Amino acid sequence: MEVKEAINKAKNNNQIAFNFLLDTYWSDVYAFQLKRTMNENDAEDITIQTFSKAFDKIDTYNDAYKFKTWLITISKNIHIDLVRKQKNTINNTSKDNEYRYLDIVDNSPTPEDKIITEQNLANLLRDIKKLKPHYQEIINLRYFQELSYKEISIELNEPINNVKVKLLRAKKLLAEIIVKS
């Protein structure tokens, strides 16, 4: 399959085309983020977000540009957004004598937050049960058992890229269920 053909098929929600594009460009986007973040976990997370966003917005892709360039631009923007969020969690405060210090925002949950979280978790579990069993399983392995992609790949006896795409699909379906309810 050629890239242009895969893009056209992906615009029609062809899962094989999505897999092809993911397999073709994963290393490029991941390597780009690894250089920027110098952290494998962050690079992997941003790369997954990149493909998720790209696949959601594939209809907006302009074939006047290379697909790789489009992906790298999305990836760069996601990274910039994450850096901005991190900077916002640290507030500069006053000067004390000649020493400047940073006050870290206290994000620990209040008792009210804990109750809301428990209610949200119950709703989330209810919504997860609406997914097909294989999507329930992959969400459970990743987010509740906190397995790495490699561990999930071994557990399910599937290639890592399939695990990633399946997880992206499961998250998308779950988001649609949550929006409906």
- Tell me the per-residue pLDDT of 124-161, one tens digit each, with 9 for 90 and over: 888 999 999 988 999 999 988 889 989 999 999 988 87
Cα separation, 46 vs 44, whole angstroms: 6
Residue 106: what pLDDT? 59
Cα separation, 69 vs 176, whole angstroms: 29
Higher model confidence: residue 99 or residue 135? 135
Tokens of 60: 């907006």
Which ranges in the chain are annotated with CATH 1.10.10.10?
A: 108-180
Residue 11: what pLDDT? 92
H or E element, residue 99:
strand 99-104
Residue 94: what pLDDT? 42
> Taking 90 as the threshold, does the pLDDT of residue 104 lie above it?
no
H or E element, residue 9:
helix 3-11
Pick the CATH number of 3-88 from 3.40.30.10, 1.20.144.10, 1.10.1740.10, 1.10.10.10: 1.10.1740.10
> Residue type at 79?
H
Structure confidence at residue 78 as a pLDDT band (50, 70, 90):
very high
Best-predicted range by mean pLDDT (9-13, 103-107, 114-118, 161-165): 9-13
Query: Which range among 8-17, 67-76, 110-119, 157-166 shows the weakest confidence by mean pLDDT?
Result: 110-119
> What are 118's strand-pairing partners?
none
Evaluate whether 127 touches 177 at the Cβ level (below 8 Å): yes
Which ranges in the chain are annotated with CATH 1.10.1740.10?
A: 3-88
- Helices 3-11 and 15-37: crossing angle in degrees, nearest 10, is 110
H or E element, residue 92:
strand 90-96
Domain 108-180 in CATH 3.40.50.300? The answer is: no
